[in-house]
Chains A and B, each alone.
Chain A
Amino acid sequence: MKNLISTVAIVLLLASCSNDDNFELIPFDNPEVSLNIPSGFPELNSAVYTNTPTQYGVELGEKLFFDKRLSTDNTISCSTCHIQKNAFSDHNKKAIGIENRIGLRNVPPIQNMAFMQFYNWDGSKLKLEDQPLVPIITHEEMDSSILEVIGKIEDDDDYIELFYKAFGDEDITPDRIYNSIAQYEYTLISSNSKYDKVKREEGETFTEEEAQGYTVFQEKCISCHSTELFTDQSFRNIGFPLNTDTNEAGRARVTGISEDYMSFRVPSLRNIEYTAPYGSFGQFATLKDLLDYLSNGVLEADNLDPFLKENDNRIPLTEEEKSYLISFMKTLSDEEFIGQ
């Protein structure tokens, strides 16, 4: 009934300005997209319930995600840095925006966002809907503004139709842009790696090396890389080489708490094979480099994670263990997710 009334209202509205509007009203259905929630994954971020993905919301978000007009000179889109075959990250040490401007940090992959409670390396955003504006306006990224973006797309018939289908009228508003991009990103769920198939007993088994690696992982890594996301979503200083950009302070930049200085969100290990280089500003070219560093000893800091403090500032690993670990981490690769 409500739908009928709003449809009638829209028809009336459109009729009243029918002279300057040749858009044809087609009845349509915009069903919610049911997210395939893998078993054992953490709770959804509550924002998912208020911005539930719909068929056309996701379609619109995807179109925006790949649209270079979001950048001021129309050269880059979200997908320029968030590349599917890299689990929606890229291979640069630090993000590269328009005119080859270098950003502060390594591009994080976009996967399983619906299950995250914090976004970005420093957890500066608590809702995914708050994030799309950041790259749009950041000087080192797209350097545009939301009105500039709207100005570029508002006469595009494809967008007019998609906004109508997704939200019930043709208004192109900032919130609808942010919400639809978030809706698209909520659907990017990776849970079909070999690890998942082994866990779900779908006929796959770990090789000897992978099984050994899983054992080492459970001994030495799982306290931070926990849950089925392989991150406990906490913020920790683990003594990695420091980003000397004076803008960098890790999570302390957000919280104003000294103990958070140079702390970063524990990254998920899913699809880690595809997301080199590693670290908040790409300090490590390979997983081997990273494990060597952890094993040899990390930088001292007042707020160094207790796990490291109690172990002489290192996570000792034999060469064999490193090799096993890397084998195990590669079982977290989800070829379906990266489109291969």
Chain B
Amino acid sequence: MKNSKKYLLVSLIALGVMSCSNDDIPVANNITLEFNNTFEDNTIVLGDATSSEATVNTSDAGQVHHFSELKYVISNIRLIKEDGTEIPYNVNDLDKGATVVDQSKEATLQYVLSDIPSDEYVQVKFGLGVKTELNTLDEVSFPNFYAAAGENDTEMMWEWGTGYRFTKIEGFYDTDNKELSIHTGSTIDEDPDDATGESFVQGVDAYRDITLNLPTNAIVGSSAPKITIKADFDYLLSGRSNTITLTSGTSGTDNATPNIHTAVEMVKFVDNIGGNGDTDITGMFSITAVEN
């Protein structure tokens, strides 16, 4: 039984290899998404409280701030052709189609999409965070993503929500370097058929769908394009939706310190960096280059 399975696999692979060998132009059908995390035009350098190298930003409310840690989840990636057709990239498989961008790990700043059909693409869509259907900490189905999101040095799981943390930002603000700790994630939960027979929904959805037009078409087939996506974290405090003043403390509106804040405060950060899903579908993201 086991052996016959192996043979089957081998022959399938052989077939697969053969079917590819007929192609005239042997190119990898890859697209690389490169994430450049910035404060406006300056790529972010992380640093601890007293770091002299860390990139310091000033918010619209006049607060200086810098980060010591910066992570976020990208998933649900789709490429759009000129005729509007969407090519989904493993959108229901977090192991193959989602990644944790971590500013402290250079390798995570580039995410390679493979086996993309040869064509010209005019737009890219992706999610900041994990869409609700997949946001269940399913370690069995997606062990790799679970590990990437949950490794001790990442701690991106949000146990109380039983879903992943979508953004984890640690840093310091104001001239006295008060602690800043901004974590976002969904708390949405649905009881499809409660005692009253009606569906009951509670919580907030922190997933945001991002749509970015490419300034020049990405041509897959004859080349393996690289799309550079700028994530401008100046938007975090000074976004289109909200101008945020950080305050430390333990009241319901204090928003700077760990961990989860109230979901009320959290949504303001989410809308700033991920857009409000309505009039703002780009949030902090923009395309700075397409290299074919």
Contact = CB atoms under 8 A, between A and B. Distances in A.
A334 to B, nearest CB: 24
A127 interface: yes
A125 B140 CA distance: 21
Contacts of A262: 252
A258 B139 contact: no
A43 B200 CA distance: 16
Interface in B123-147: 137-140, 143, 146
Contact of A46 (B195, B202, B250, B257): B195
A246 B157 CA distance: 18
A258 B268 CA distance: 13
A316 B106 CA distance: 63
A253 interface: yes
Contact of A252 (B143, B190, B264): B264
Contacts of B225: none
B260 A249 contact: yes
B191 interface: yes
Interface stretch (B25-33, B39-47, B159-167): B159-167
A45 B203 CA distance: 19
A244 interface: yes
Interface of B: 1, 137-140, 143, 146, 150, 155, 157, 159-162, 187, 189-191, 193-195, 200, 202-204, 250, 252, 254, 257-264, 266-267
Nearest to A42: B195
A126 B200 contact: yes
B195 A137 contact: no
Given A117-B194, A134-B162, A137-B137, A249 B261 contact: yes
Interface in A96-143: 117, 123-127, 130, 133-134, 137-139
Nearest to B263: A256
Nearest to A16: B1
Interface string A245-264: 01111001111111001100
**Taking chain B's interface residues, is the majority helix, strand, or loop, or is none over half, making it mixed?**
loop
B141 to A, nearest CB: 10
6 contacts: A126-B200, A145-B139, A174-B140, A252-B252, A254-B189, A258-B262
Interface size class of A (residues with CB under 8 A): 35 or more
B252 A255 contact: no
A255 B252 CA distance: 13
A296 interface: no
A5 interface: no
B218 to A, nearest CB: 37
Contact of A256 (B157, B162, B203): B203
Given A117-B194, A117-B195, A253-B187, A146 B260 contact: no
Interface in A1-22: 16-17
A35 interface: no
A173 B202 contact: no
Interface in A249-294: 249, 252-258, 261-262
B160 A253 contact: yes
A44 B196 CA distance: 11
A137 B193 contact: no
A45 B195 contact: yes
